[in-house]
């Protein structure tokens, strides 16, 4: 009898869990998406002096005034740039998989943000400009394909491991979604540590809603090992924040220690080297996710609620 009761409890929990997941799965059947993708890197690096005038007329915003045509011809013929172009084509000559991912992303954007209009996607070679992997400017979205060649590619040989960890094509859709989500949130309304991590947690939760087929690890930019470490250490890390009275601290140094890109988080303990960077953002996501599941606020409610109020209503408790 006891075994039957336990089995029944597990089955009921499973049904409740599935019901909750279904509740948060939008019906996209009436939403269409037709991304316009312009392979500018192909048009440019396969062009010539004769073809430049037409290319400049079509994309004037990519050809700053004051540069003679010889500058662009030299750029097309540059050996290093041709190498980068060739490497991007090895990974992205067939763009159909990325197109399907963008279609899904844009459908979710239209579901949650009905006034959203699809931008034109322009793929490029940026000479490994890691600060501008994806740029979103209202009706245009620029994608630097040379930042997604795979973390072990030789062009990233001098980059720190934590920087190049997500330089692979499966992370491209995450960066595209992220570029569109960040402007929706702005800066935290107050400078407390809890507000800062919840603000970033909102961003990550929105990304997970827009990208339901992308793993949490990929959205966070963690390896599986880093994610597992965070889950196993959740209770102890949260205890550290509480006992050291960090949650409502306005110390700006906390962003550097726990939110900004870094090889590891900085508790100033022996455990530091084992921890992944941005662990504060990871906690912010846990809090925002708990709020979404408990309060079912809708997208507008998630974005507009005060960060400290969200924390209170989330009823977040770290896993034991």
Domain coordinates of the chain in residue numbers? 37-184, 186-314
Q: What confidence tens digit (pLDDT) does each residue in 236-271 have?
A: 999 999 999 999 999 999 999 999 999 999 999 999
Burial of residue 156 (number of CB atoms within 10 Å: 0-12, 13-18, 19+): buried
114: β partners: none
pLDDT at 17: 37
Backbone phi and psi for residue 105, each to the nearest 5 degrees, phi listed first = -60, -45
* Contact in structure between 110 and 91 (CB atoms under 8 Å): no
Percentage of residues of the chain with pLDDT beyond 90: 88
Residue 319 binned pLDDT confidence (cut-offs 50, 70, 90): confident
Determine the Cα–Cα distance for residues 183 and 83; give it in Å rounded to an integer: 34
Assess whether pLDDT exceeds 60 at residue 62: yes
Residue 317 corresponds to which tokens in the numbers above?
A: 């408790």
pLDDT at 6: 35
How does the average pLDDT of the chain come out, rounded? Answer: 92
Residue 3 binned pLDDT confidence (cut-offs 50, 70, 90): very low
In the block, tokens 């159909």 appear at: 96
pLDDT at 24: 57
Long-range contacts of 178-185 (CB under 8 A, 24+ apart): 178/134, 178/203, 178/207, 179/134, 179/135, 179/136, 179/141, 180/109, 180/136, 180/141, 181/206, 181/207, 181/210, 183/136, 184/113, 184/303, 185/303
| Cα pseudo-dihedral 164, 169, 170, 174, rounded to 10 | 70
pLDDT mean over 220-239: 97
Long-range contacts of 212-221 (CB under 8 A, 24+ apart): 212/25, 212/108, 213/104, 214/173, 214/174, 218/170, 218/171, 218/174, 219/174, 220/278, 220/281, 220/282, 220/285, 221/165, 221/166, 221/171, 221/174, 221/278
pLDDT mean over 106-127: 97
Strand order in the sheet with 134-137: 37-39, 120-124, 140-144, 134-137
Percentage of residues of the chain with pLDDT beyond 70: 92
Put simply, whether the predicted model's pTM sits higher than 0.85 gets the answer yes
pLDDT at 224: 97
Q: What confidence tens digit (pLDDT) does each residue in 12-24 have?
A: 333 333 333 434 5
């Amino acid at each position: 009898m006891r075994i039957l009761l336990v089995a029944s409890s597990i089955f009921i929990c499973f049904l409740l869990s599935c019901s909750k997941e279904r509740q948060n799965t939008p019906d996209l059947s009436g939403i269409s998406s037709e991304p316009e993708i312009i392979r500018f890197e192909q048009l440019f690096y396969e062009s010539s002096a004769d073809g430049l005038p037409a290319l400049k007329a079509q994309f004037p915003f990519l050809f700053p005034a004051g540069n003679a045509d010889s500058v662009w011809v030299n750029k097309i013929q540059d050996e290093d740039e041709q190498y980068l172009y060739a490497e991007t084509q090895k990974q992205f000559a067939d763009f159909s998989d990325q197109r399907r991912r963008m279609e899904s992303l844009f459908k979710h954007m239209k579901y949650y943000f009905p006034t959203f209009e699809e931008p034109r996607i322009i793929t490029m070679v940026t000479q490994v400009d890691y600060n501008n992997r994806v740029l979103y400017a209202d009706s245009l979205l620029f994608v630097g394909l040379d930042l997604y060649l795979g973390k072990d590619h030789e062009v990233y040989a001098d980059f720190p491991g934590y920087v190049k960890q997500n330089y692979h094509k499966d992370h491209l859709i995450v960066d595209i979604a992220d570029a569109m989500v960040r402007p929706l949130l702005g800066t935290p309304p107050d400078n407390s540590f809890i507000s800062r991590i919840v603000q970033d947690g909102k961003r990550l939760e929105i990304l997970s809603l827009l990208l339901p087929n992308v793993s949490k690890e990929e959205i966070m930019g963690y390896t599986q090992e880093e994610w597992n470490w965070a889950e196993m250490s959740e209770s102890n890390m949260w205890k550290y924040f509480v006992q050291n009275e960090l949650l409502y601290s306005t110390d700006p140094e906390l962003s550097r220690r726990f939110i900004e890109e870094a090889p590891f988080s900085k508790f100033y303990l022996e455990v530091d080297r084992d921890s992944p960077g941005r662990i504060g953002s990871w906690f912010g996501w846990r809090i925002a996710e708990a709020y979404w599941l408990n309060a079912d606020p809708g997208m507008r409610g998630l974005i507009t609620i005060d960060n400290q109020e969200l924390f209170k209503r989330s009823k977040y408790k770290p896993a034991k």
